[in-house]
Structure 1
Amino acid sequence: MRKASWILSGTAVVLVAASAVTRLTVYPALHQVPDGSETTFRLHGTATLLNASALSGGGGELFLRDVPVTMNRHVEVTDTDGRTAVVHDDAALRGPGGKELAVSRYVWALDRRDLTARPAPAGSKAQNHTGLTVGWPLEPARRDYPFWDTGTEKAVPAHYTGDKTIGGRNTYVYDVSATGQLADPAVAKGLPKALPRAAVVQLTNALPVQQRPSAAELAALPVTVPLTYDSATEQRAWIDTATGSTVDGTLHQTVTARTTGADGPLTLFPVTDVNVRATDATVRDQADTAADTARLLWILRDGVPLGLLVVALLLAALAVRQSRRPTRTDPAGEEVHPDDVRTPIS
């Protein structure tokens, strides 16, 4: 085999190896949540809230009903350690004029590929949990996933309910429903453990008639009414099938005050009722980002490896062709390829 054939064959082998390395090493290394990544998901809608000012005698309606609100959820990867990402998950609910109505702050230790719980790195202050929290696996599937509900602090199913095109992207739709006693300490610490019966009667009388406890039930309550709180959350997420990113989402979350009446548990009044959905601008931005990410992943997963293989096959074919071309023997007895013969200059 001529020297040129050896060079072509060697180059082809190198390209095949580079294709395998790109697909099996480079792509998996890059196909994970990167350190320092962050996103802000914006939602808008309405909320019904207890009016703390009126409750304390400041006047006005006891319940602020259907107040227009916005919610900004900011998710940032602040540290990584191998397959583990430390993620800060902050949300702020604001009313008219940008007034802050509620905030939440969580820290999670997550797997950088499937976003499930990982052991918390030392000093991270990540909270214990099971299931998904801030998003879906980078390669989502048509199946149910365990999902961590912060209100009740328990894992519930996120049910796969179908496919839908949102913002030009193919998405899987997942529904989450969670109810139970409020367990989130950040929310519970701001709520009273008891109220005077007169205050409870005042609050329940401000509700529509069909939502009020009966007069007899209220009259049977002790002078100081002990309170517990229930949390109910309904979420729907539209998840990009190629990247696992959230393209669209809804959230309906309520906290309700309860007590124990003469005949058992007794629902008293709502504390918060928030109903929001992703803004149109957020859906467009999320869809555009998903498209860009999917394109990059295709290049790393398929485009570059296939391109290298095609070039390698072409070089291999050229090497075979070179090796099969006829040769002749020069006067010294050495084989000479026709391409090596030079025409003398006259």
Structure 2
Amino acid sequence: MSAHRSSTVLITVAVVLVAVATVVRFVLAPNATKLPDDTDQTVHYAGEAMMLDSKALQFGDTAHALKSGIPITVDRRLQVTSTHGDTAVLKDATTIHLGKQSLPSVKTYALDRESRRGTSPPASKSVEPSRGALSSAFPPDAAQDNSYRYYDSLTRSIVPIRYTGTAKREGRAVNVYTITVSAPVKDPAVLKPLPPALPKRLVTKLRPELGSTARARLTPAALSALPNPVPIAYQGRSTLVAYIDQQTGIAIDQTVSRTVVASTTVGDEPTSLMPVSSFTFGVTPASVRELGDKADSAGLLLTLLTDVTPLVLLAVAALLLIHLLQRRTRRPDAPASQKPALGESTTT
């Protein structure tokens, strides 16, 4: 192979390596951070609940109307059902198990596959109104600040997400975010079984079981002035703490506290009466380990695509070019037999 041809091959290989490194870093790596179109993940939680016993309430047994300390398990499945360019339609299905009773809840979101924020849905798709807010997932390399917002399906409200620092989960660095919600319940599935009003006699009988503020306001005169039946509104109060893997955005751990409180208006003052339901639960240790393993695998892939592979390809290309330059600048001396003798003419 001639020197010229060898140089051409080296330059071509170096250019191809640089091109491949560019594609890996700026095309494949960003695509790897998008919400995958085959996402299908189930996370398990465990905790306890407090529930209003409607039968006890119906029969006037107000002392036993609230049952607390009920063990629960929770299954949450996140599944991308379709993708439309950079938009993913995600089904978020949660089922709470209380003994033999199951409480299912299914929500559908249109998410930007890169930012994970709610976006406009594809035509003919009905989704939750979460535009601009996170609902089911954080993006990779999530910002360590208070710039994110959260969509709460119970109240259909969008609230700030507060960044509260860093921690470790399964040996990985995580960002900790806290979400606090307090707003009227607007989820039709939650409101449907709840009574819009209660008989005044039942509210009167409930008074000894209520909190101090409600008891102080529900004086005999105030009770007498209430309409019959007494209109009831419902307030949703939630606190979520999420431990988000810094590199991949995977929620390795999470705690959830969610309460629905019945309230009414007493003397023009909104007054909380009693909780209708309260659920407190966290990710099970087994699911935390599984999510940690998933973050390890996803993190390794991102490291390979973002850093290792492009750097190796660029390093090889640089070595080839350095070798070529060294070879071109090398000028060997002419052989001694071809050098003219001292004082001898080079012409005949």
- For the criterion TM > 0.5, the same-fold answer is yes
Aligned partners of 2:48, 2:207: CA distance in 1, in Å?
21
Q: What is the SS of the residue equivalent to 2:64?
A: coil
Show structure 2 runs of 5+ residues with no match. Answer: 335-348
The corresponding residue for 1:177 is 180
Query: Is 1:293 aligned to residue 298 of structure 2?
Result: yes
Change (3 A) 1:296 1:58: farther
Aligned partners of 1:111, 1:192: CA distance in 2, in Å?
38
The corresponding residue for 1:343 is none
Q: What is the SS of the residue equivalent to 1:32?
A: coil
Amino acid at match of 1:41: V
Q: What is the SS of the residue equivalent to 1:266?
A: strand
Question: Contact conserved, 1:146 with 1:158, CA < 8 A, in 2?
Answer: yes
The corresponding residue for 1:78 is 81
Aligned partners of 2:140, 2:192: CA distance in 1, in Å?
35
Alignment of 1:190-201 (within 5 A): 190-201=193-204
Q: Which of 63, 74, 77 is residue 66 of structure 2 equivalent to?
A: 63
Aligned partners of 2:16, 2:268: CA distance in 1, in Å?
79
Change (3 A) 1:263 1:8: closer
Query: Which one is further off, 263-272 or 82-91?
Result: 263-272
The corresponding residue for 1:37 is 39
Question: Contact conserved, 1:2 with 1:323, CA < 8 A, in 2?
Answer: no
Q: What is the SS of the residue equivalent to 2:248?
A: coil
Question: Contact conserved, 2:129 with 2:156, CA < 8 A, in 1?
Answer: no
Aligned partners of 1:211, 1:262: CA distance in 2, in Å?
12
Query: Which one is further off, 26-35 or 83-92?
Result: 26-35
Question: Contact conserved, 2:43 with 2:287, CA < 8 A, in 1?
Answer: yes
Aligned partners of 1:23, 1:178: CA distance in 2, in Å?
39
The corresponding residue for 1:135 is 137
The corresponding residue for 1:313 is 318
> How many Å apart are 1:314 and its aligned residue?
2.1
Query: Is 1:279 aligned to residue 279 of structure 2?
Result: no
> How many Å apart are 1:215 and its aligned residue?
4.9
Count matched residues. Answer: 327
Show structure 1 runs of 5+ residues with no match. Answer: 330-346
The corresponding residue for 1:167 is 170
> How many Å apart are 1:11 and its aligned residue?
0.7
Query: Is 1:119 aligned to residue 120 of structure 2?
Result: yes
Aligned partners of 2:76, 2:210: CA distance in 1, in Å?
31
Q: TM-score scaled by structure 2?
A: 0.87
Q: TM-score scaled by structure 1?
A: 0.87
> How many Å apart are 1:281 and its aligned residue?
1.3
> How many Å apart are 1:205 and its aligned residue?
3.9
RMSD (Å) for aligned C-alpha atoms: 2.3
Aligned partners of 2:7, 2:29: CA distance in 1, in Å?
31
Question: Contact conserved, 2:210 with 2:273, CA < 8 A, in 1?
Answer: no
Question: Contact conserved, 1:84 with 1:118, CA < 8 A, in 2?
Answer: yes
